[in-house]
Amino acid sequence: MTRAPANLMAVRSLLLKHLNRDPNRVRDEDLEPNEVGIVGDANHRGGYHCGSDRVVSNDYSVVESPRDRNGLTLDAAALDVGMFRVSSRGRTHDLFTFSTWCVAQCVANTADTRDIREIIYSPDGKVVRRWDRLGRRSTGDRSHLWHTHFSFFRDSIKAGRGQTPLFRRYLTTIGLITPEQEDPDMTPEEHNWLKTVHRNLTVLDGRNPIGQTYTRTTMGEDHTDPTFKVGHPTLRSLGAQLTALQAAVESLASRDFTDEQAIISGVLAGLTPEEIAAAIPPTVAEQVVQELGRRLAA
């Protein structure tokens, strides 16, 4: 029996939560539960509203894409959305503006639309149009003047991939969901899991598994094993090397690398005795003679 998959039921719940403004009574303005359908009625045969037990020979929802052929299960892969009208941020939004917004996102190939095969819709309640990712069709029957049909590639339904992001983004864009709000589709267990992940990613001092991995790889230390050693450079060893290098540079900077005696010896080695004598000022010549005599006598 064809069944409604959990990922499309999540889309249905999201839309009804925010577009069925008064769930306690039926109103023309609201999106009512009977206006959001996934599984075709008992007489429905063929198409994305049917699972493998209701598809027909050469069914377009199976044969035209390997994504559909490989994803065929008992799950339906379509969603119908009926008429609604809501006011938000000083503007009125309805099925027609919703549908054209979704089609525009598909045309732009945003990441959250890539599992959508087609949208059959009306931009104004007067004409029916069809956006088809495979470019096979461009029309639909007149029932789509008052409801919009979304087909999803069957492999995305089979994989259980979430399909709420596009619709959540629409509700956020028109102001029915604020960015600060938590994801209402998440269970308390999922929220706790996210909090745990966040805590582990922000505490890196060795008190948890992620922090322990950080200290082992970057510091070369183990919070529970003080004898732990690593064979690669760590932040601590690199810091010690940088400190030693800085000290060596400072030591070299304070040294005088000029060897005056070597310079004088080099200059004198290239001069003749006559040139040396000529270079000595007369006032010190006698002192030089006396010093040379003393050295020779010694």
Name the residue ranges covered by the structural domains of the chain: 6-174, 188-254, 260-297
pLDDT value of position 227: 76
pLDDT value of position 266: 74
User: What's the pTM value of the predicted model, to 2 decimals?
Assistant: 0.62
pLDDT value of position 198: 64
pLDDT value of position 245: 87
116 beta partners:
152
Q: Note the pLDDT tens digit of each residue in 15-49.
A: 999 999 999 999 999 999 999 999 998 889 999 99
Q: Note the pLDDT tens digit of each residue in 150-191.
A: 999 999 999 999 999 999 999 999 999 986 555 555 655 666
Give the separation between CA 253 and CA 248, rounded to whole angstroms. 9
pLDDT value of position 144: 97
Spans of the chain below 50 pLDDT: none
pLDDT value of position 193: 66
pLDDT value of position 130: 98
